């Protein structure tokens, strides 16, 4: 299993065909949110939403989601959030 630390929003933060197995959001200095979606940004393509309600809190979810050739897109909200994405 491999992981990637993500600190900025983007449409293709992990490219290529992968299977996302776990995600963990850690809030920075205030509340944080993360939305994960297929890199095409087609409406309704989001498959995971995380929320950490206060500074230094975290939220995680175990997944088994394949990500296609368009890659993984992420939208992060809050001040200095960190999203860890574990994939194979």
CATH number at residue 81: 2.60.120
Residue at token pair 């949110």: 33
- The pTM of the full predicted model, rounded to 2 decimals, is 0.89
| pLDDT confidence bin for 11, thresholds 50/70/90 | confident
Give the model confidence (pLDDT) of 17-62 as tens digits.
788 999 999 999 999 999 998 876 665 578 899 999 999 899 999 9
Provide the domain limits for residue 50: 2-87
Residues β-bridged to residue 8: none
Cα 65 to its chain centre, rounded Å, is: 12
**Number of domains observed in the structure of the chain:** 1
**How much is the CA Rg of the chain, to the nearest whole Å?**
12
3-state helix, strand, coil in the chain (%, to 5): 0, 60, 40
């Amino acid at each position: 299993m491999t992981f990637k630390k993500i600190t900025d929003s983007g449409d293709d933060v992990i490219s290529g065909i992968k299977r996302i197995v776990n995600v963990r959001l850690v809030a920075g200095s205030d509340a944080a949110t993360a939305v994960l979606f297929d890199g095409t940004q087609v409406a309704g393509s989001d498959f995971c939403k995380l929320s950490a309600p206060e500074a230094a809190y975290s939220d995680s979810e175990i997944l088994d989601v394949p990500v296609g050739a368009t890659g993984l897109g992420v939208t992060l909200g809050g001040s200095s959030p960190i999203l860890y994405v574990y994939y194979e």
